[in-house]
Structure 1
Amino acid sequence: MKFFTILFCLVSNILFAQNFVLPQGEYMDTTSVFHSDCAPPYAIYYYQVQAKYPVSSPALLTEARAFLKQNSNSIESSGYITFRFFIDCKGSMSRVQVLQTDENYKTTHFPKEYVNSLYLFVKTLDKWPTQLQIQNIKNINYIAFISFKIKNGQVDNIIP
């Protein structure tokens, strides 16, 4: 019985690993999904390997607004919600950190449902560049981010 309790705790952490607030930051997803043929997760950023998401910011903005219109409650807040995450060599997203600030860049918290809706939108993005290399490291994993500028509860801009 003890084995099944431990197994349940481990599995539930993997399946429901969202909204952890730790001293080093707040995380939506703490799972690490790296394929065995990918390089170790070095701190390589998307701009070091020209791995910007291939859809333009205005097109993403349109998609995000349509997605939120269907999946979110309205809010009156303004500020920024940034998702920072790893993309592995196969295009899988993991270790998602969420940063939330008000218009004056002071830490704040938007309504959980709204942040979760934005997170669901980010998870739909599946065109991340893959099979990249830098110097002599092939099949790299890299760190990417998407920041949403919120004005009076509406997504006003997406960066980058």
Structure 2
Amino acid sequence: MLKIFYILFLLPVFFSCQSGKSVTIYPNKVGNIVFDKNIDSPDFKRCMDKDYGIQYYSVNDSNGLLYKGEKFAIIQELEKLNLSSSKKTNGYITIRFVVNCEGKTGFFRVQQMNDNYLEENWDKDFSVKLLNFTKSLNGWIAKESRGTKLDYYQYLTYKITDGKVSEILP
């Protein structure tokens, strides 16, 4: 009787062991941007591993926005264009992208949110104009850490007030 008790006790232990390899659908890091042949230029090349980049805040020598003239230069360029939306809406348009070790940009992703931070696509024309403006910025500074050139993720968030850019974040 005692042997049967031991067998019944150990039987679930043997069957609970898993020997298979676990597979995940999640990226190595949240927010990785992977190449999409439908929207990304095949001419843009990363310098590091294929689908990996350092977050803009991850390197010790990060002193804010790595752009020649910093955010002030970006604001001046944007003011020259005098962009506005035909819709007098409020919200945010965030454009994320990769800056490679040569200071070139690619893999742009756009997200629109209303002023309650809920995803919303309220003005495609205006977001395309801001995307094209962001793509035209050519003063990005390449990152290097301990003698190794790095690719890094960067973003610009445009705060929209009454259909115009009122602030650029970060």
Q: Distance in 2 between matches of 1:47 and 1:97?
A: 19
> Which residue pairs with 1:101 in the alignment?
113
Q: Distance in 2 between matches of 1:140 and 1:101?
A: 30
> Which residue pairs with 1:111 in the alignment?
123
Matches within 5 A, 1:58-69: 58-69=72-83
Structure 1: runs of 5+ lacking an equivalent? 1-23
Q: 2:101 aligns with which of 82, 89, 92?
A: 89
Q: Greater relative contact order (Cα 8 A, min sep 6): structure 1 or 2? A: 1
Structure with more helix by fraction: 1
CA shift at 1:47, angstroms?
Answer: 2.0
> Which residue pairs with 2:67 in the alignment?
53
Q: Where has structure 1 moved over 4 Å in runs of 4 or more?
A: none
TM-score normalized by the length of structure 1: 0.69
Distance 1:45 1:79, change over 3 A: same
**Deviates most, 103-112 or 52-61:** 52-61
CA shift at 1:116, angstroms?
Answer: 0.9
1:124 aligns with 2:133: no
Distance 1:81 1:159, change over 3 A: same
> Which residue pairs with 2:22 in the alignment?
none
Number of aligned residue pairs: give it: 129
1:149 aligns with 2:159: yes
Identity %: 28
> Which residue pairs with 2:14 in the alignment?
none
**What's the C-alpha RMSD, in Å, of the aligned pairs?**
2.6
CA shift at 1:140, angstroms?
Answer: 1.1
1:39 aligns with 2:39: no
